[in-house]
Amino acid sequence: MTMLSVGGTRAWIDRFADAAEDQFDSLTDLDRLVGDGDFGMNLRTGLRSAVQRLRSDPPTSPGEVFARTSDAFLDIGGTSGPLLGLWFGRIGAVSGVEVTATDLASALGAATAAVQRLGNAQVGHKTMVDAMVPATSALTEAAVSGATLSAALNSAATAARLGAESTRAMLARRGRAAYVGEHARGVEDPGASAIAMFFAASSYKSVPA
């Protein structure tokens, strides 16, 4: 795959939604340890709504797929809804019916910067940003080096997973997890896990059927 089409983007969101169903219990368990336990529910609700919106109002470009996903997350509550809504909304600013690795890297850079500003979160704060930033960097570096979109997304998926795993050693500085202090150490941040799931879902082979 060298370009992302509308169909390919919809399939990506469908696989992300399937992963949120499959990993509902594990995300809920993680968020019970570091948050208020609603993250698995919020992610699943947002993605069920995104899939429904994509069915009822079919998108004509990759940007529209991400924009529908943004609208779905902006409608759900919690801390994660507005942040994921903002992130997907900025990714949805990508234009054209065929999106290259360079286009996607550029949109993702703006999206991740926007989430960092709104959440006042840097790498190391044990949030979704700990997966977003390395994934964005990996995708950008791959795009600059002329990698195919598939290869660039695989690099982003690996970086996001490593970023999510890095949150286990961190003490939270943001969000509800900051109040539980040492209890959160050793636990992967569920928001970062979800971002790793998103990038893993970009590839057919990354998500077992």
CB of 79 to Mg ion, least distance (A): 6
Residue 43: CB minimum distance to Mg ion, A: 10
Q: Which stretch binds Mg ion (CB under 5 A): 28-36, 44-52, 54-62, 85-93?
A: 28-36
Q: Any idea which residue has 């903002």 for tokens? A: 86
Site stretch for Mg ion (CB under 5 A), options 27-35, 58-66, 115-123, 189-197? 27-35
Site residues for Mg ion, 61-80, by CB under 5 A, read 78
Q: Which is nearer to Mg ion, 70 or 80 (CB)?
A: 80
Minimum distance between the CB of residue 191 and Mg ion, rounded to whole angstroms?
Answer: 9
Phi, psi of 52 (to 5 degrees): -65, -45
User: For every residue of the chain, which 3-state class applies, written as one string?
Assistant: CCCECHHHHHHHHHHHHHHHHHCHHHHHHHHHHHCCCCHHHHHHHHHHHHHHHHHHCCCCCHHHHHHHHHHHHHCCCCCHHHHHHHHHHHHCCCCCCCECHHHHHHHHHHHHHHHHHHHCCCCCCCCCHHHHHHHHHHHHHHHHCCCCHHHHHHHHHHHHHHHHHHHHHCCCCCCCHHHHHHHHCCCCCHHHHHHHHHHHCCCCCCCCC
**Footprint (CB under 5 A) of Mg ion, residues 76-105:** 78
Encoding tokens for residue 200?
A: 């893993």
Please, which residue, 38 or 64, has the CB nearer to Mg ion? 38
**Which residue lies nearer to Mg ion by CB, 78 or 89?**
78
Least gap, CB of 105 to Mg ion (angstroms) = 30
Distance CA 99, CA 111 (A): 16
Q: How many residues bind Mg ion (CB under 5 A)?
A: 4
User: Is the Cβ of residue 21 or residue 36 nearer to Mg ion in the bound state?
Assistant: 36
Tell me: does residue 35 bind Mg ion (CB under 5 A): yes
Task: Tell me whether residue 134 or residue 190 sits nearer to Mg ion (CB atom).
Answer: 190
Of 2, 36, 118, 146, the one binding Mg ion (CB under 5 A) is 36
Kindly identify the residues of this chain, within the stretch 110-139, that bind Mg ion according to CB under 5 A.
Answer: none
Q: Which residues of this chain interact with Mg ion, rule CB under 5 A?
A: 35-36, 38, 78
